[in-house]
Structure 1
Amino acid sequence: MNELRAAPNQLTLLRLCIIPFLVLAVLDGHYRTAFALFVLAGISDGLDGLLARLLKQRTVLGQYLDPVADKLLLSTLFLVLHHEGLISRRVTVLVFGRDLGILMVAAILYAGVGMRNFKPSIFGKANTLAQIIALLAVLLGMFYAPPIIRVVRHGALVATVAFTTISGFHYAWQVARRLSPSEQSS
């Protein structure tokens, strides 16, 4: 219970609490509010990591809760924006499928063989950045749409598809390599 009281974990819980309000804002067509909530969630994500380091409050709970909150926020927003016809099915299925697959494989590996170390690769980080830029551009474009926003939106969605695919295959390759008998004996 002490870990739950750590300031970084409180910020992560705040980020989780923002998600339903963000979904409602999109569904109700309040895109400025949705944009502001998404930015607030991003700030809380940056602050929780910073506070964990500065206050020396890195916790096991935070190591699991933070990435789950990030995946839940991004995947949920992709789903609701697809539902509203603002992001294509192809992009949404790739993003949601990859994230769900990673979470399921991580849970199975943790439960089955005790594998705990699931650090994101450079491809996964690039994918997350592309997703964030794409979502920001989609939301911003609903109330402020100069041509540059449309260009950024398109480019970020293309990058999201590319990095989602690359990072998904890279993650599968890393897991297969870590589970291979030659890797386990060394």
Structure 2
Amino acid sequence: MSFIKDFKNRNFDLFEYLPATEVHPHDNFLAVTILRFLPKNITPNKISLFRVCATPFVFLLILFGYYEFGVVSFLLVAFTDALDGSLARTQNKITKFGMLLDPLADKLLIGSMVLLLVFKYLDFWLGIVVLGMEIVFIITAYIYRVKFKTVRMANLWGKMKMFLQVLAICSVLIALVFENQSFLNIANIILGLSVGFALVSLFRHGI
């Protein structure tokens, strides 16, 4: 715990709350339906950290063939991506650390699913492209943080990319649950579309 305190003290600017510059319609919807029931001590960063910690459990469920539990767990964990951002914006709890942790948690979740499912059931080279793009995003964000002392935020294109990736992974899992090949074909198309959104997000300085 002392390590965490030392890290916060040395990087206090990363944990300083920043006001939201914009609040999206879905933020307000989540605020009145789900976020209002969260305990006061739950912060956006804690939700993002939960996603990081929960990803290995989702990975293991799917790895050992528990696809029914896997698809539900994956959806629940992926849904926390909407919760942490909406909580941060509606309660003005945006931090630079959260701007880094949130997309990193997303990439860990999606990257693990690419390794586990996409390479095995979808187009191999499409998986390479998706994984490569995520690595590029991480490296770019690191360079901006270290060299330019700025944090690249997720933009609308990046959020759409994440949504399509989640949809594609769900399609693969549904195909495995119901043994329906057509869902794999749909997943390939959706994942291909996500690459387009990823490219736009990258060139518009998002993550």
Q: TM-score range by the shorter chain?
A: 0.7 to 0.9
**Which residue of 1 is the match for residue 30 of structure 2?**
none
What are the residue-to-residue correspondences of 1:13-28 with 2, within 5 Å?
13-28=49-64
- Residue 51 of structure 1, CA deviation: 1.8
Identity fraction in percent: 27
**Which residue of 1 is the match for residue 44 of structure 2?**
8
Unaligned runs of 5+ in 1: 176-186
RMSD after superposition: 2.5
**Which residue of 2 is the match for residue 100 of structure 1?**
135
Q: Distance in 2 between matches of 1:42 and 1:130?
A: 12
Contact map agreement 2:96 2:151 (CA 8 A) in 1: no
SS at the partner of 2:65? coil
Q: Distance in 2 between matches of 1:12 and 1:120?
A: 14
Against the structure 1 CA distance between its residues 12 and 119, is the aligned structure 2 distance closer, same or farther, given a 3 Å change threshold?
closer
Q: Distance in 2 between matches of 1:135 and 1:37?
A: 12
- Residue 121 of structure 1, CA deviation: 4.5
One-letter amino acid of the structure 2 residue matched with residue 128 of structure 1: M
Higher helix share: 1
Q: Distance in 2 between matches of 1:125 and 1:54?
A: 17
- Residue 158 of structure 1, CA deviation: 2.9
What are the residue-to-residue correspondences of 1:129-148 with 2, within 5 Å?
129-144=163-178
Against the structure 1 CA distance between its residues 17 and 137, is the aligned structure 2 distance closer, same or farther, given a 3 Å change threshold?
same
Aligned length, in residue pairs: 168
Unaligned runs of 5+ in 2: 9-14, 16-40
Output the TM-score relative to the length of structure 1.
0.76
Output the TM-score relative to the length of structure 2.
0.69
